[in-house]
Amino acid sequence: MMLRILFGVLTALLLNNCSNKNTVSQFDLDVLAQVGNKIITKQDFIRRAEYTIRPDYCRQSNYIHKKIILNSLIAEKLTALEMEDKDDELLRSKNFQYFLQGRKEQAMRKLYYYDNFYNKVSVPDSLIKKRFKVAGRTVDISYISLPDLIFVQKVNDLLLKNISLEEIYDSIWGEDLPNKKINFFDKEHKAILSKLFDTPIYKDQIIGPFENEDGSFLLMRVNGWSDKKLISVVDQEKTWNDVKDLIKEDKAKSSYIKFVEQIMSGHEMEFNSDIFDQYAYKASKTYLQDPRKKKEAINKLLWEEIENPKTISFQNDVNVSPDDIILNYNGEPITVGKLNRLIKSHPLVFRKRKMSEGKFRQELKFAIADLMRDLEINKKCYGQKLHTDVRVSNNVDMWDDAYASKRYLSHLINENNLEEEKKYSMNNGMIDSLQNKYSNIIKINIDMFEKIEITSTDMLVTERGLPYPFIVPSFPIITSDDKLDYGSKMN
């Protein structure tokens, strides 16, 4: 039996995070340092410093800690160079090549969006001015989440009878009604933000329902709001630019979604239900993990697709083989083996973060459909030769070098029989020798470096809805050296 999915309905959750400012800014190529043919851009420096958790010895924003950060990033490149002469099984592995291919194609898709949509949006001052008026607003709301529209209607009926939202919530859950504050720049559902900030609101107004990603529905009540006064010219200019960026992102996202709907129009995917059901059962054992297992160390998760990739194995399974056809895509048969190979360079992305075993089959179909959608976008990217774009290759090189450096340190630990407690000790002497060895091919833009400002608030930044959610590799814990006494100054 074949089950058909039309792609016209599969773009509703596209671009969960494609257009945030972190994504856009990664394509700046102001070269901060160069190690042979390897480069570190200004934006690389900022993102590696602020989008990951830095160790205590360089967590602050002062000049000494900035130098340690730069030395660490250069040391990562140096140790990656050293690995070029080593025969490392994991660096040569197919899994790592699939990982780099996936990273490359993800960067291509983001760059395609950036060049063809985001960069082509113009925002009139009149629209910025309109949104600017409410940009400092924070709305205080209470909310109730309901399982379906039947419950929504019942709650609305009770509200019409002057029964308060507090009383309704207490009668259902026996708890206080939850509250939250939403400001203009929050990453809430677009429909919620539009209702709160694009139209007039009044106290005690009930808005919604808004559908959540798990299929439940949200009703909100406006309790009140406050408007932050922007007094200084600096605050006014910053907010004006932030509003402009937000509008630009919204317009670019809308255009991109229409583009994707257009290229996917007419595409069909038919599942072979007999094979798919068995595949889905095996996949559920892989993807529906115990919540406790999801709280593993972040650094381990970063390289999980290489060192311990998710596999949906049918070894010794008499009912399913890699040659069995699991689906037809536009009439082309896709075998279980081919689907698994595609997943190796494009890990499945599930639209819902929480799902029951009963709903897993449908969510798996959506995840596979989104994979096929991205393959179609890849064709457009390759057509524009984005795989040769230096911005893409620099992103891939960053991941390649980070993992090569990690493998170098692993070899160092094994060769020196380091004890577990000394595993992450400083390697300043070793890095000093590499700085001397490669000093003649190291260049640093000191003027640019001294002008860079970073915060002391580091965080782990991810992009939800992408096959590879981590924006940058984890911070390289290689050296605590704060001296820039090697290399030459870059003009």
Q: What is the CATH number of the domain that holds 185?
A: 3.10.50.40
- Is 22 within a domain? no
- Is 447 within a domain? yes
Average pLDDT rounded to a whole number, residues 475-482? 92
Domain hosting residue 39, numbered range: 30-89+388-489
- Is 470 within a domain? yes
CA dist., res. 3 & res. 271, Å (int): 5
pTM of the complete model: 0.85
Residue with tokens 């139209």: 199
Domain finish residue from 335, 365, 383: 383
Query: Is it the case that residue 294 has pLDDT exceeding 60?
Result: no
The answer to whether residues 333 and 403 belong to one domain is no
CA dist., res. 73 & res. 48, Å (int): 8
Helices marked H in 355-445: 360-383, 390-415, 428-437
pLDDT tens-place string over residues 371-388: 999 999 999 999 999 999
At residue 449, the pLDDT reads 96
CA dist., res. 278 & res. 274, Å (int): 7
Residue 228 CB contacts under 8 Å (≥ 6 apart), including other chains: 136, 137, 138
The answer to whether residues 104 and 148 belong to one domain is no
- In angstroms, how far is CA 470 from the centroid of its own chain? 5
Q: Report residue 122 as tokens.
A: 């113009």
CA dist., res. 321 & res. 313, Å (int): 9
Q: Report residue 324 as tokens.
A: 């069995």
The answer to whether residues 223 and 149 belong to one domain is yes
pLDDT tens-place string over residues 234-244: 889 999 999 99
If one counts the domains in the chain, the total is: 3
Domain finish residue from 349, 383, 417: 383
- Is 235 within a domain? no
The answer to whether residues 445 and 408 belong to one domain is yes
Instruction: Give Rg (Cα) of the chain.
Output: 26
The answer to whether residues 472 and 394 belong to one domain is yes
Question: H or E stretch including 31?
Answer: strand 31-35
Task: Give the pairing type, strands 332-335 and 325-329.
Answer: antiparallel
The answer to whether residues 474 and 392 belong to one domain is yes
At residue 1, the pLDDT reads 43
The answer to whether residues 143 and 217 belong to one domain is yes
Residue 108 CB contacts under 8 Å (≥ 6 apart), including other chains: 378, 381, 382, 386, 387, 389, 392
CA dist., res. 174 & res. 166, Å (int): 10
Q: Are 483 and 67 in contact (CB under 8 A)?
A: yes
The answer to whether residues 167 and 83 belong to one domain is no
- Is 132 within a domain? no
Q: Report residue 92 as tokens.
A: 């040569």
What phi and psi values does residue 199 have, to the nearest 5 degrees?
Answer: -130, 155
Strand partners, 444: 33, 489
The answer to whether residues 331 and 369 belong to one domain is yes
Residue 446 CB neighbour total at 10 angstroms:
15
- Where residue 204 falls among pLDDT bands split at 50, 70, 90? very high
| Three-class DSSP category at 32 | strand
CA dist., res. 123 & res. 77, Å (int): 40
Angle between helix 63-83 and helix 42-50 axes, rounded to 10 deg: 110
- Is 246 within a domain? no
Q: How far is CA 197 from CA 113, 178, 182, 203, 227, in A?
A: 27, 21, 10, 14, 12
CA dist., res. 412 & res. 417, Å (int): 8
Q: What is the mean pLDDT of the chain?
A: 87
Q: Are 240 and 324 in contact (CB under 8 A)?
A: no
Q: Are 353 and 213 in contact (CB under 8 A)?
A: yes
Q: Report residue 55 as tokens.
A: 């160790």
- Is 274 within a domain? yes
Angle between helix 336-345 and helix 360-383 axes, rounded to 10 deg: 70
Query: Is it the case that residue 421 has pLDDT exceeding 70?
Result: no
- Is 464 within a domain? yes
Angle between helix 360-383 and helix 273-287 axes, rounded to 10 deg: 90
pLDDT tens-place string over residues 16-54: 545 444 443 555 679 999 999 999 999 999 999 999 999
Domain finish residue from 323, 349, 383: 383
The answer to whether residues 309 and 371 belong to one domain is yes
Residue with tokens 């709305």: 139
At residue 297, the pLDDT reads 40
At residue 360, the pLDDT reads 92
CA dist., res. 139 & res. 197, Å (int): 9
At residue 124, the pLDDT reads 95
The answer to whether residues 9 and 107 belong to one domain is yes
Q: Report residue 245 as tokens.
A: 């960026």
Q: 167-176, 311-320, 433-442 — which is least confidently predicted?
A: 311-320
Say how many CA atoms lie within 13 Å of 446 toward its Cβ. Answer: 8
- Where residue 299 falls among pLDDT bands split at 50, 70, 90? very low
The answer to whether residues 355 and 374 belong to one domain is yes
